[in-house]
């Protein structure tokens, strides 16, 4: 069965600390992977995506993610967290073809809190 | 450069009433998607529309739910005779097309509570 698992429902880190949010997926074909962020009062915003090529992907706001096919993972990282990073983070996987916005499978999200 | 606008942000309806959720896509976008996030579940695709046409409603419940995207005005997701199980967050997204890797831009969502 196709699925996305974000094992951590809630994470709290101190400002300036490093961050890693986990995402594991089960998908039968070559996946197209996304991380979205939803800040309080905002819509979902695309942080980064992996389609092919270099398995380390750079995104906006200083985030990066690494695709590890052998581990079926696409973990999101940031070296130094800012208070404004407090938000809900969603991982999603889908097919790498046209129409993939309709076929994404979403994780349940990880809520990030940042202590001053 | 307004983003995708959804209203209302919060909607409370009694069982049996109708709920209307509105979505104004980004300027220049003619493709709209609706998703639903039930408690304890990830986002699920409901329906995909282009101007005046429903292209894919494979994720839409067969009864009580309908969607439209008229030539003028916002896209509307309509839920008739709401039940408690309809309580969820409903997200709308828009894109300029549906080519490979075309990004969809999301609204803030409408949180529907059925009492």
The CA distance from B86 to the nearest CA of chain A, in Å, is 18
Residues of A with CB under 8 A from a CB of B: 4, 32, 36, 41-46, 49, 51, 90, 92, 96-109
pLDDT in tens, B6-50: 999 999 999 999 999 999 999 989 999 999 998 888 899 999 999
Q: A107 pLDDT band (50/70/90 cuts)? A: very high
- The pLDDT of residue A30 is 78
Mean local confidence (pLDDT), B94-115: 87
Shortest CB distance from B106 goes to which of A44, A49, A97?
A44
The reply to whether B95 touches chain A by the CB within 8 Å rule is yes
Cα angle: A96, vertex A100, A101; to 5 degrees: 145
What part of B 59-88 touches A (C-beta under 8 Å)? 59
Instruction: Report pLDDT digits (tens) over B47-94.
Output: 999 988 999 999 999 999 999 999 999 999 999 999 999 999 999 999
CA dist A114 to A7, A10, A80, A87, B63, Å? 19, 11, 11, 9, 43
**Cα–Cα distance measured from residue B14 to residue B113, given in angstroms and rounded to the nearest whole number:** 8
């Amino acid at each position: 069965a196709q699925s996305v698992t974000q094992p951590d429902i809630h994470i709290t880190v101190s400002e300036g600390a490093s961050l890693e949010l986990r995402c594991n997926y089960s998908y039968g074909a070559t996946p197209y992977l996304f991380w979205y962020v939803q800040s309080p009062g905002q819509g979902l915003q695309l942080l980064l995506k992996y389609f092919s090529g270099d398995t380390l992907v750079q995104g906006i706001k200083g985030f990066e993610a690494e695709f590890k096919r052998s581990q079926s993972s696409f973990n999101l990282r940031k070296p130094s967290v800012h208070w404004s990073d407090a938000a809900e983070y969603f991982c999603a996987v889908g097919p790498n073809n046209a129409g993939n916005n309709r076929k994404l499978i979403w994780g349940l999200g990880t809520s990030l809190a940042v202590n001053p | 450069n307004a983003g995708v606008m959804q209203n209302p942000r919060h909607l409370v309806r009694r069982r049996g009433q109708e709920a209307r959720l509105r979505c104004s896509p980004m300027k220049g976008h003619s493709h709209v998607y609706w998703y639903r996030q039930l408690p304890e579940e990830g986002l699920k695709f409901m329906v995909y529309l282009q101007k005046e046409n429903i292209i894919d409603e494979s994720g839409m419940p067969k009864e009580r739910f309908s969607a439209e995207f008229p030539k003028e005005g916002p896209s509307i997701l309509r839920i008739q005779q709401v039940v408690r199980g309809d309580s969820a967050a409903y997200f709308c997204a828009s894109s300029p097309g549906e080519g490979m890797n075309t990004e969809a831009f999301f609204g803030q969502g409408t949180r529907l509570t059925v009492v």
